[in-house]
């Protein structure tokens, strides 16, 4: 039984993703994590199922699914391997959507079909070493050189940056002497073959270790003029709009991690015996499982309510931040409880809950920290109340 009112197509997508994830991803997820190994075989498999084009229109070789179908599939992948889920989330939500929404017809025809087929993986380069939550403070500079642009600077925290064939990069196009804040930022479509494009430091991370996270150095990187996405100076606006959608993907990923932890805890509680009976018979354990299940269900319900609003064409900034905040903090709380249910065994790599715990933490950080989400929610709530004489719309 589910509280979600799913149609037949959505249930089929959910079942397809679950079957694939449990058949192909679960068994090697721990090994990939320990080795920090990105798996190209996994990419080929998911490409064959169309997972890299879930939100891409059919005319660009995509599946043209609705937001809820996509999030259902993403949750199932995250249950099995959160590193695989972050690849799908970033690819489908950020670079793909930005090119689809703001790219020229030529840019769309060139990049979207191979991205939908999984031949080109997409990445997103907004943050910098000195510009994280204050992304508008980025320093990467783009200057005109004839018909081209020259980009110089360092981008940080680029998920699967070493594997991507298309990177949406934000850079300043205003003059250093006349900074315009976020209005001076533009978006460029980069490819690794461009002169001056260099992969740099690979981060040694706590979690999501099978998803490589890189710095990218741009040393006068020469970018053809037709790689500017949309209007000059509007890149930060494009990025924020895409993050509204991206945060739904992170929420689905977090719910998947939390669900994996709950399912592992339920199995273990039924098997582990203390004082001559399964620990599942103890009320202390039952209360933990009850709270874990309740929070996961609440997070999923909020996420899909936000997705339904997006599908109706409504503004979802407030609700996407709510979904991301609640789901990611739920994932961290649930995985903490799962480790506690396992006791000492939860602290060793023989069982997967320590990996779930590590994977959950970053969901509270990337694509906007929990603190930033609260700022967004408060700002949007105050604005909504002011526009409705103090009352809040549904």
As annotated, the active-site residues are: 367
* Token pair of 203 as six digits: 């981060």
Distance CA 229, CA 102 (A): 6
The DSSP call for residue 104 is -
What is the rounded radius of gyration, in angstroms, for the C-alpha atoms of the chain?
Answer: 21
Confirm if 173 and 184 have CB atoms less than 8 A apart: yes
Burial (CB count within 10 angstroms: exposed 0-12, middle 13-18, buried 19+), residue 220: exposed
Confirm if 326 and 374 have CB atoms less than 8 A apart: no
Distance CA 335, CA 259 (A): 9
Distance CA 141, CA 151 (A): 6
- Beta strand pairing status for 122-125 and 148-159? unpaired
Helix or strand (DSSP H, E) at 142 = strand 141-145
> How far is residue 15 from each of residues 11, 20, 34, measured CA to CA in Å?
6, 9, 28
Confirm if 14 and 6 have CB atoms less than 8 A apart: yes
* Token pair of 29 as six digits: 């997820």
Helix or strand (DSSP H, E) at 125 = strand 122-125
Give the CA angle between residues 203, 205, 211 to the nearest 5°. Answer: 80
Q: Where are the beta strands (DSSP E) in 160-296?
A: 166-172, 185-190, 197-202, 213-224, 228-229, 273-274, 277-278
> How far is residue 129 from each of residues 135, 202, 342, measured CA to CA in Å?
10, 13, 37
């Amino acid at each position: 039984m589910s509280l979600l009112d799913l149609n037949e197509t959505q249930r089929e997508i959910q079942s397809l993703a679950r079957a694939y994830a449990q058949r192909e991803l679960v068994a090697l997820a721990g090994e990939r994590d320990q080795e920090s190994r990105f798996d190209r075989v996994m990419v080929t498999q998911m490409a064959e199922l169309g997972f890299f084009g879930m939100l891409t229109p059919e005319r660009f070789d995509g599946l043209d699914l609705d937001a809820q179908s996509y999030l259902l599939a993403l949750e199932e992948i995250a249950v099995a391997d959160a590193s695989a889920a972050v690849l799908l989330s970033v690819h489908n939500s950020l670079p793909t959507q930005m090119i689809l929404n703001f790219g020229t017809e030529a840019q769309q025809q060139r990049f979207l079909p191979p991205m939908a087929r999984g031949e080109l993986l997409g990445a997103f380069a907004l943050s910098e070493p000195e510009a994280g939550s204050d992304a508008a403070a980025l320093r990467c500079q783009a200057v005109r050189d004839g018909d081209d642009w020259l980009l110089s600077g360092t981008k940080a925290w680029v998920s699967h940056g070493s594997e991507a064939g298309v990177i949406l990069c934000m850079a300043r196009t205003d003059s250093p002497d006349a900074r315009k804040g976020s209005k001076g930022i533009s978006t460029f479509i980069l490819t690794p073959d461009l002169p001056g494009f260099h992969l740099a430091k690979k981060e040694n991370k706590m979690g999501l270790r099978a998803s490589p996270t890189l710095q990218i150095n741009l040393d006068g990187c020469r970018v053809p003029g037709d790689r500017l996405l949309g209007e000059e100076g509007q890149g930060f606006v494009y990025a924020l709009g895409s993050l509204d959608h991206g945060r739904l993907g992170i929420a689905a990923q977090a719910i998947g991690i939390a669900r994996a932890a709950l399912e592992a805890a339920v199995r273990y509680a039924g098997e582990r015996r203390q004082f001559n009976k399964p620990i599942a018979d103890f009320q202390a354990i039952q209360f933990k499982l009850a709270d874990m299940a309740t929070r996961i269900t609440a997070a999923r319900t909020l996420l899909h309510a936000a997705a339904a609003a997006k599908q109706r064409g409504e503004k979802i900034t407030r609700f996407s931040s709510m979904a991301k905040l609640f789901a990611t903090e739920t994932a961290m709380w649930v995985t903490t409880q799962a480790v506690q249910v396992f006791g000492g065994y939860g602290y060793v790599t023989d069982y997967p809950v320590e990996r779930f715990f590590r994977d959950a933490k970053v969901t509270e950080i990337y694509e906007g920290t929990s603190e930033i989400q609260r700022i967004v929610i408060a700002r949007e709530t105050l604005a909504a109340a002011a526009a409705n004489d103090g009352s809040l719309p549904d």
